[in-house]
């Protein structure tokens, strides 16, 4: 009951500027939403779409921080909106600005085309290639990788990526170099490089080397700072650089 | 791809060389200016010394290459200058910078 009263009190409404448009361009539309204490940014977007303007396009699925589909720019910073409390990001004046994720083509309103992002995972050799089985085959037996082993822990460090694209949207190099594979794809590659069951290390290290790959990263750590899963793509990329450097020094390694 | 990795490695190696070279350079300056600095004193130290010639040649080459590789990145990221022609131009810039330094070192060695 108290919440509805709040909602009706104009003085306690927030002003949300939402970018509306498509690939051809667009601009901001303003909506007044109730200033509820316990709501996420995604709740606000859903409120706008259900109550104020059904034509608003946005994307979500799980609402609990697992699927990685709800990321947007909230007040100029990429975030997972389903796990972002609105009260924590709203300005003192009670405003929010929502834009589609940066560094990706816009489909409509708050929905971006994630295809270039995931294409780069494929380019970075992001597919697990079992050592003891041919292309795509299921290995005959389970591989035992002791959880306490160093390699296992290194692989585990980056495994929880939900593919939300927050890091990708926060990286200057992605903005400056359209070919740059980006933090998430490189983090995935590093996870597989550390996977003792994987047999495609050499090809993968080749795929992530050079100007489009790990060597363009400036280690500025925006990706690490903003990853909602607290992963550390910046360190993963440093690991790739190290592995490629040492491979050069191995006899016959530079092939 | 491999060339790009070589460039990255070269920049790390030249950075390490530069760290040492700049330190030696600064210490030399601090010691040399004590009691005033004269052209004669500088020539006295450097003329005919292969060690100093080699030191300054490596220093100049590292500086030239290091700067050119860095500028190549800046050019690619901020100005969109990419490709073979840009690479050759940056190589020219790097070698030219190095050449100026090496020529000066040679001049003092031969003086
Ligand atoms: S550390 Fe590298 S990948 Fe991460 S944001 Fe910075 S440049 Fe991008
Ligand atoms: S590394 Fe983090 S920010 Fe990047 S896609 Fe994965 S979960 Fe999202
Ligand atoms: S809706 Fe699935 S992570 Fe936000």
Residue A254 falls inside a structural domain: no
Q: Is the pLDDT of residue A2 over 80?
A: no
**A145 contacts A196 by C-beta, under 8 angstroms:** yes
Summarize pLDDT for A153-205 with one digit per residue, the tens. 999 999 999 999 999 999 999 999 999 999 999 999 999 999 999 999 999 99
What is the spatial distance between Cα A100 and Cα A108, in angstroms, rounded to a whole number?
9
Q: Which of the listed residues A88, A112, A136 is the one where a domain comes to its end?
A: A112
Residue A21 belongs to a domain? yes
DSSP string, chain A: -HHHHHHH-GGGEEEEEEEEEETTEEEEEEEEEE--SS-BHHHHHHHIIIII-TT-----S-SSSSS---EEEETTEEEEGGG-BHHHHS-TTSEEEEEPPTTS-EEETTEE--HHHHHHHHHTT-S--BTTS-TTPPPSSPPP--TTSHHHHHHHHTTT-----HHHHT-HHHHH-TT---HHHHHHHHHHHT-TTB--HHHHHHHT-STTTGGG-----HHHHH-TT---HHHHHHHHHHHHHHHHHSTT---
- pLDDT band for A253, please (50, 70, 90 cuts): low
Domain that holds residue A182: 115-249
A71 within 8 A of A79, measured Cβ to Cβ: yes
Q: Do the bridges between strand A71-74 and strand A25-34 make them parallel or antiparallel, or are there none, so unpaired?
A: unpaired
Q: What is the pLDDT of residues A52-73, one digit of tens each?
A: 999 999 999 999 999 999 999 9
CATH number at residue B98: 1.20.1300
Domain boundary among A95, A112, A129: A112
Q: What does the pLDDT look like over B59-106, one tens digit per residue? A: 999 999 999 999 999 999 999 999 999 999 999 999 999 999 999 999
Statement to judge: residues A119 and A219 lie in one domain: yes
**In angstroms, what separates the C-alpha of A172 from chain B's closest C-alpha?**
9
Residue B8 with chain A: CB contacts under 8 Å: 215, 241
- Percentage of the residues of chain A whose pLDDT score is greater than 70: 93
Which tokens in the block code for residue A69?
């589909």
Do A234 and A127 share a structural domain?
yes
The binding-site residues of ligand 1, defined as CB within 6 angstroms of any ligand atom, are A 170-171, 173, 183, 217-223, 233-234, 237
Residues A121 and A221 placed together within one structural domain of the fold = yes
- pLDDT of A236 higher than 80: yes
Can you give the pLDDT at residue A131?
85
């Amino acid at each position: 009951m108290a919440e509805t009263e709040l909602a009706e009190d104009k003085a306690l409404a927030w002003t949300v500027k939402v970018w509306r448009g498509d690939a051809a361009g667009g601009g901001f539309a303003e909506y007044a939403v109730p200033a509820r204490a316990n709501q996420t940014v995604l709740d606000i977007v859903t409120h706008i779409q259900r109550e104020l303007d059904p034509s608003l396009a946005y994307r979500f699925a799980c609402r609990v921080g697992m699927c990685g589909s709800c990321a947007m720019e909230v007040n100029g910073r990429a975030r997972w909106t389903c796990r972002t409390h609105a009260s924590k990001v709203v300005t003192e004046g009670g405003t929010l600005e929502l834009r589609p994720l940066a560094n990706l083509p816009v489909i409509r309103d708050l929905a971006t085309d994630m295809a270039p992002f995931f294409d780069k995972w494929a380019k970075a050799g992001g597919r697990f290639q079992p050592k003891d089985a041919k292309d795509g085959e299921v290995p005959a037996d389970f591989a035992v990788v002791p959880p306490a082993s160093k390699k296992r822990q290194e692989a585990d460090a980056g495994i929880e990526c939900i593919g939300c694209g927050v890091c990708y949207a926060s990286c200057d190099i992605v903005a400056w170099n359209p070919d740059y594979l980006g933090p998430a794809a490189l983090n995935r590659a590093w996870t597989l490089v550390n996977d003792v069951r994987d047999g495609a290390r050499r090809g993968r290290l080749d795929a992530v080397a050079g100007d489009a790959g790990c060597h363009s990263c400036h280690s500025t750590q925006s990706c690490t700072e903003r990853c909602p899963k607290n992963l550390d793509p910046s360190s993963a990329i440093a690991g790739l650089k190290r592995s490629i450097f040492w491979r050069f020094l191995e006899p016959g390694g530079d092939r | 791809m491999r060339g790009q990795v070589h460039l990255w490695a070269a920049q790390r190696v030249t950075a390490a060389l530069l760290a040492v070279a700049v330190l030696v350079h600064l210490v030399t300056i601090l010691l040399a200016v004590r009691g005033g600095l004269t052209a004669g004193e500088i020539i006295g130290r450097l003329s005919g010394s292969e060690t100093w010639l080699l030191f300054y040649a490596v220093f100049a080459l590292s500086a030239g290459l290091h700067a050119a590789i860095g500028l190549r990145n800046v050019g690619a990221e901020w100005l969109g200058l990419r490709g073979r022609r840009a690479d050759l131009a940056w190589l020219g810039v790097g070698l030219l910078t190095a050449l100026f330094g090496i020529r000066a070192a040679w001049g003092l060695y031969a003086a």
